[in-house]
Amino acid sequence: MATPATRAAARRPAGTRPARRRALELLLIAAAVGVSGLALALAGLQVEGRLPDRLALYTGTLGALAGAAHVVLRSLASWADPLILPLATVLNGIGITAIWALHAANGTGPAEADRQLLFTAVGVAALVGVLALVRRPLPLRRYPYLTAAAGLALILLPVLPFVGIEVFGARRWLGFGDHTYTVQPSEFARVLLIVFLAGYLGRNRDVLALTASQVRLGPVKVFSLPRMRVLGPMTSAWAAAILILVATRDLGTSLVLFSVFLAMLYAATGRKSWVGIGLAMFLAGAWAAWLIFWHVRQRVTIWIDPFDPEVYRAVGGSRQLVQGLFALADGGLLGIGFGGGRAAGIFAADSDLILVSIGEAYGLAGLSAVVLLLAMLTQRGFAAALAARDAISQLTAAGCAFLLAFQTFVVLGGVTRLIPLTGMTTPFLAAGGSSLVSTWMIVALWLRISDSARRPRTPAPPAGAAEADTGAVRLLSSSSRATARE
């Protein structure tokens, strides 16, 4: 039975709700740009004692890009979630502020922040491109295996000797122009692999959920085991993660991708025992990697005993992690601001350890607020998944949300010594174009799926009306033939 709210919503004009969504979005975008500009102004006063010269450039450009994306959403995805774009905008703005402040404190100039602003423009252009090309979520399911092949090829491309670059034992980057310009293809490969997994699991979720062997202890069911022909996807994903670890020596990517696969498998089937089997396979692979690869052993040693003098002074040792822990401690509850701490002198403070820089500048309160913004954005991804009308769209949105959540956890856990430091980038915050552009593409997928989920269905014509229309067509055609004979 229809409730009063349902009847009121039905009586409301069709264009009212999208207009209100976009009006709310525009208001929140203005607030996000204002927060970013205020953060940059305060950072300039702390570091240089005056407002930054690029305050108007950075704030105006960020506002123009977010406004352009808002205008595109009004025409291409008017029913999309109004919170996603403002959350992405404020996180992007905070990242630009932190990068500018770190390099201003070091005296290295604003070039890196300028590059990040340029990458933001490329990311927003990628968002518009995805929204324009993917008008409905259904095309995502068409070529799953081609998508998987493209994703694995992108991950393994840095292995090639002529274009791949090895940095600290990991081959993640492609170098162009004497390595002046670099691209990290694994950032884009993750999105492609999520689309593949969503297509495969969405098509086979019933088979995967129902096909299992029961392991019983007397009359009590202990757990379920997948049959061998169904175990193939899990084994393939595990083998792909190990292959990535062996070929590129990228511990973070292999960890995040396999975690996303297990989460999507559980979301598709609801079988906890399968996740347990996957975790056992992961632990076995991690143990083998610790025995075989020196860089994995080094990461674990740094994690277990970072304050050992030999580990601290070694090349590629624990100095980065220890200095990051001290910087977080210096930040206290409310932070010490930019320019007066030790974060600016830490290696990769604007990329791998960007959360350390934010924690020192804004304290535990500010770092918690930034992590909360990331959590809110992830929650909107899960909300899009729950609202989606088909399984593949649900799994695509959920997979992207799992990716953002696991990536943030790996970075935050690494800098706080909860898990080994892996060198992952924080979404929207860390310096680097590949991560930023690929995250904007994820935002585009969420916007498209949420728009499709909330857009009213076009009602099918009643059966009687269809038959009447068919009869009228037959009557008109017979009349025209009679007229022609006359």
> Which has more confidence, 423 or 473?
423
Q: What integer pLDDT is reported at residue 246 of this predicted model?
A: 66
> Across the chain, which distance is largest between two alpha carbons, in Å?
106
Q: Could you tell me how far CA 5 lies from the centroid of its own chain?
A: 35
In a domain? residue 473: no
pTM of the model: 0.88
Give the mean model confidence (pLDDT) for residues 43-53: 94
* Sheet of strand 181-183, all strands in order from the earlier edge strand to the far edge: 164-167, 170-176, 181-183
- Is the pLDDT assigned to residue 168 strictly greater than 80? no
In a domain? residue 310: yes
Lowest mean pLDDT of 15-19, 64-68, 112-116, 448-452, name the range: 15-19
Domain span at 363: 140-454
CB 104 within 8 A of CB 45: no
Q: What integer pLDDT is reported at residue 465 of this predicted model?
A: 45
Confidence band for 429, pLDDT divided at 50, 70 and 90: very high
Q: What integer pLDDT is reported at residue 129 of this predicted model?
A: 96
Give the mean model confidence (pLDDT) for residues 286-313: 89
> Which has more confidence, 152 or 439?
439
Task: Provide the number of structural domains found in the chain.
Answer: 1
Beta-carbon contacts of 42 under 8 Å, excluding residues fewer than 6 positions away, are 337
Q: What integer pLDDT is reported at residue 315 of this predicted model?
A: 85
- Is the pLDDT assigned to residue 48 strictly greater than 50? yes
What is the share, in percent, of the chain residues with pLDDT greater than 90? Answer: 52
- How many other β-carbons are positioned within 10 Å of the β-carbon of residue 331? 25
Q: CA Rg, the chain, in Å?
A: 26
> Which has more confidence, 399 or 473?
399
Q: What integer pLDDT is reported at residue 477 of this predicted model?
A: 42
Give the mean model confidence (pLDDT) for residues 116-123: 98
In a domain? residue 73: no
Q: What integer pLDDT is reported at residue 451 of this predicted model?
A: 95
In a domain? residue 109: no
- How many other β-carbons are positioned within 10 Å of the β-carbon of residue 459? 6
Confidence band for 243, pLDDT divided at 50, 70 and 90: confident
Beta-carbon contacts of 230 under 8 Å, excluding residues fewer than 6 positions away, are 207, 208, 211, 212
Residue 167 Ramachandran class (φ > 0 left, ψ -120 to 50 alpha, else beta): beta
- Is the pLDDT assigned to residue 70 strictly greater than 90? yes
CA–CA separation, 45 and 447 (whole Å) = 37
Q: Where are the alpha helices (DSSP H) in 214-353?
A: 228-248, 251-269, 272-292, 294-304, 309-313, 319-331
Instruction: Please state, rounded to an integer, the average pLDDT across all residues of the chain.
Output: 84
Q: How far is CA 139 from CA 129, 195, 199, 410, in A?
A: 15, 11, 10, 32
Give the mean model confidence (pLDDT) for residues 396-408: 97
Lowest mean pLDDT of 244-248, 292-296, 415-419, name the range: 244-248
> Which has more confidence, 99 or 11?
99
| SS3 assignment, position 213 | strand
Q: What integer pLDDT is reported at residue 165 of this predicted model?
A: 76
Q: What integer pLDDT is reported at residue 228 of this predicted model?
A: 61
| SS3 assignment, position 349 | coil
Beta-carbon contacts of 78 under 8 Å, excluding residues fewer than 6 positions away, are 18, 21, 22, 451
- Is the pLDDT assigned to residue 211 strictly greater than 90? no
Burial environment of residue 240 by CB neighbours within 10 A (0 to 12, 13 to 18, 19 or more): buried
- Is the pLDDT assigned to residue 15 strictly greater than 50? no
CA–CA separation, 61 and 178 (whole Å) = 30
> Which has more confidence, 250 or 27?
27
Reported as a single tens digit per residue, the pLDDT across 187-205 is: 999 999 899 889 888 887 7
Q: Contacts by 107-115 with C-beta closer than 8 Å and gap 24+?
A: 110/54, 112/350, 112/431, 113/54, 113/58, 114/54, 115/431, 115/433
In a domain? residue 2: no
Lowest mean pLDDT of 20-29, 166-175, 397-406, 470-479, name the range: 470-479
Q: What integer pLDDT is reported at residue 10 of this predicted model?
A: 45
Confidence band for 88, pLDDT divided at 50, 70 and 90: very high
Q: What integer pLDDT is reported at residue 95 of this predicted model?
A: 97
- Is the pLDDT assigned to residue 291 strictly greater than 50? yes
In a domain? residue 34: no
H/E element holding 474?
A: helix 463-485
In a domain? residue 92: no
In a domain? residue 404: yes
CA–CA separation, 242 and 484 (whole Å) = 74
Q: What integer pLDDT is reported at residue 140 of this predicted model?
A: 63
Q: Could you tell me how far CA 213 lies from the centroid of its own chain?
A: 35
Which DSSP letter does residue 432 get?
-
> Which has more confidence, 96 or 216?
96
Strand 212-217 and strand 170-176: pairing?
A: unpaired
What is the share, in percent, of the chain residues with pLDDT greater than 70? Answer: 81
CA–CA separation, 485 and 58 (whole Å) = 75
Give exposure, 139-153, as e/b (b: 16+ Cβ within 10 Å): ebbeebeebbebbbe
